[in-house]
Amino acid sequence: MTQKLWGGRFTQPTDKFVEEFTASIGFELRLGYYDIHGSKAHAEMLGRQGIIAVAEAEQIIAGLDEIAKDIEAGDLEFSVALEDIHMNIEARLIELIGAVGGKLHTGRSRNDQVAVDVRLYLRDEIDVILDYLTKLESSLIEQAETNLDVIMPGYTHLQTAQPVLYSHHMLAYREMIARDCSRLRDLRARFNQMPLGAGALAGTTFPIDREWVAEKLGFDGVTRNSLDSVSDRDFAIEFCSFAAILMMHLSRLAEELILWSSADFSFIELSDAFCTGSSIMPQKKNPDVPELVRGKTGRVYGNLISLLTLMKSLPLAYNKDMQEDKEPLFDTIDTVKGSLKVFADMIAEMKVKGDNMRIAASRGFSTATDVADYCVRKGLPFRQAHEVVGQTVRYCLETGKDIPELNLAEFKEFSALIEADIYDFVTLEASVNSRKATGGTAREAVERELSRLKSS
Ligand code: ARG
């Protein structure tokens, strides 16, 4: 029987299957580095405070450094009997430096230990994700900058509505990603408080210096209530809700890229590097990457719901249920990182078929609103203008003509207010470029936006 670190009060060994069933070591190896990092700060503080001898603290720290090296080299054998990453590392420390290793856990519990480990880990991952988000933002901005001439149909209900710049469409996604970044920074700042010192739940009897440990580990401060410190997982839930919103955004872009790369739209071409072929249909080039990102959105939503459900109604403070927080959180981090990375690269290499977009934009009476606005400027109330243009569109449908193809006499059939200058208003360029106010699709408004983004 492996000697359990908590074995004192037990007379019988743990059931073998229960050992496996309760262990978290199988899925939390990624916490190893952070567990050691947190333990080193804790040991140093114990020495500084005279809770253990400074020489003992030094021995512990040296032992932990050695374990870190072993873990990195893949030389540490983890044991299910030792349940989790914390006890595997502590047992190895005692094996390595002897009984003094047993002093590390003074004034600490696995409950505050796991709380600090996950925070340290998540903080690092968030910094990587912020970097990936910035790269995706740059890819979108670059698409916008290099395709400023491209006009595409803007849709509502997936029906042609009004022409827009393709750049404007790309910058819409940049807005979403920028808000995702801001959400992520907010939640990072909120949870960057150090929980060590909460002990099992009530605090510790030892004269620890929590503020010193907090500073050493790069936290902005210390948590204020020991019960909450060991039982709070809302930082993980907030992260997963950030991730769910981000994936919702990516899935919308994914859906558009999938539609746009179909033969029927043919608006873009994804690089071969991001597509696969069909085993039976030789002509196929499938947009697997956006499809997978769209699909992976489901598991990220699921992870958020798992965590919310896991935490629902749990009494204070720590409960073993909470060990189930790891896999959904880790899976969310991995999924988000993968999706962002592949999207940033794919979008950077995406080719735009501007001519096809333009042809599509000139179909579907996309400048009908411009004719209505024209009539309004000539004095017609908007409701009447709407009716006039509705009848014009019906005439076009019956005669197979497009609005800019009508001659002036035909226009005048619908409203005497329409003059020869109508033709200045019904081209795609005129329609787009008349929407000049901040946030509009006019080329000058989009260019202003691009230079604002570059200077910020
Ligand atoms: N593996 C545990 C978890 O992830 C660590 C905390 C264990 N605490 C305890 N009292 N059993 O939640």
- Spell out the domains of the chain, with CATH numbers in brackets: 7-106 (1.10.275.10), 111-202+223-359 (1.20.200.10), 363-455 (1.10.40.30)
The Å distance, Cα 1 to ligand 1 centre, comes to 21
Other C-beta atoms within 10 Å of 72: how many? 11
pLDDT for res 2: 57
Q: How do 221-222 and 268-269 pair as beta strands?
A: unpaired
Residues 6 or more apart in contact with residue 379 via CB below 8 angstroms: 417
Instruction: Indicate the SS3 state at residue 161.
Output: strand
Please name the residue whose Cα sits nearest to atom 3 of ligand 1: 323
The rounded Å distance from CA 111 to ligand 1 centre is 6
The string of pLDDT tens digits covering residues 50-108 is: 999 999 999 999 999 999 999 999 999 999 999 999 999 999 999 999 999 999 999 99
Query: Which residue positions in the chain have pLDDT lower than 50?
Result: 1
Taking CA atoms only, the protein residue closest to ligand 1 atom 4 is 323
Alpha-helix residue ranges (DSSP H) falling in 147-192: 166-191
Residue 400 three-state SS: coil
Nearest to 25 by CA among 127, 122, 114, 106: 114
Q: What is the DSSP letter of 2?
A: P
361 CA → ligand 1 middle, Å: 58
Phi, psi of 284 (to 5 degrees): -80, 140
Atom of ligand 1 nearest to the CA of 326: 4
Q: Tell me, what's the pLDDT at 450?
A: 98
Q: How far is CA 43 from the centre of its chain?
A: 35
Pocket lining: 84 vs ligand 1, CB cutoff 6 Å: yes
Rounded to 5 degrees, what angle do the CA atoms 62, 64, 67 make? Answer: 115
CA 117 / ligand 1 centre spacing (Å): 11
Question: How far, in whole angstroms, is CA 268 from its chain's centroid?
Answer: 25
Q: Determine the distance separating the centroid of ligand 1 and the alpha carbon of 354, expressed in angstroms.
A: 56
Q: How far is Cα 87 from Cα 76, in angstroms, rounded to an integer? A: 13
Return the pLDDT at 7: 82
DSSP assignment of 66-90 equals: HHHHHHHTT-PPP-GGG-SHHHHHH
Residue 8 Cα to ligand 1 middle (Å)? 18
Which residues are catalytically annotated? 157, 278
- Report residue 279 as tokens: 């085993």
* Coil vs helix vs strand at 410: helix
Identity of the residue numbered 313? S
pLDDT score of 1? 45
Which of 84, 87, 108 for a ligand 1 pocket mutation test, highest count of atoms within 8 Å of Cβ?
84
**pLDDT of the residue at 14:** 87
How far apart (Å, rounded) are the C-alpha atoms in residues 125 and 236? 12
Using a 6 Å cutoff on CB, does residue 322 contact ligand 1? yes
Mutate to test the pocket of ligand 1, among 323, 324, 329, 330 (most ligand atoms within 8 A of CB): 323
For ligand 1, whether the C-beta of 110 sits within 6 Å is yes
Closest ligand 1 atom to 200 CA:
10
Q: Nearest-CA neighbor of 125 among 390, 438, 338? A: 338
Closest-CA residue, ligand 1 atom 12, reads 323
Cβ(271)–Cβ(348) below 8 Å: no
Pocket probe mutation, ligand 1, options 14, 78, 87, 110, max atoms within 8 Å of Cβ:
110
Q: Whats the size of the chain, residue-wise?
A: 456
Tell how far the Cα of 118 is from the centroid of ligand 1, in angstroms: 12
Say yes or no: CB of residue 323 within 6 Å of ligand 1: yes
Q: What secondary structure does DSSP assign to 322-350, as a single string?
A: GGGGHHHHHHHHHHHHHHHHHHHHHHHTP
CA distance 12 to 276: 56
Pocket test for ligand 1, best of 20, 24, 327 (most atoms within 8 A of CB): 24
Instruction: Give bridge partners of residue 153 from the DSSP assignment.
Output: 163
Q: What are residue 282's phi and psi, to 5 degrees? A: -65, -20
Give the DSSP letter of residue 3.
P
86 burial (CB, 10 Å; 0-12 / 13-18 / 19+) is buried
Structure tokens at 255: 């859906």
Tell the residue number behind the tokens 């700060």, with chain if given: 41
In this prediction, residue 278 carries a pLDDT of 77
Q: Whole-number mean pLDDT of the chain?
A: 96
- Sign of the Cα torsion 333, 335, 338, 342 reads negative
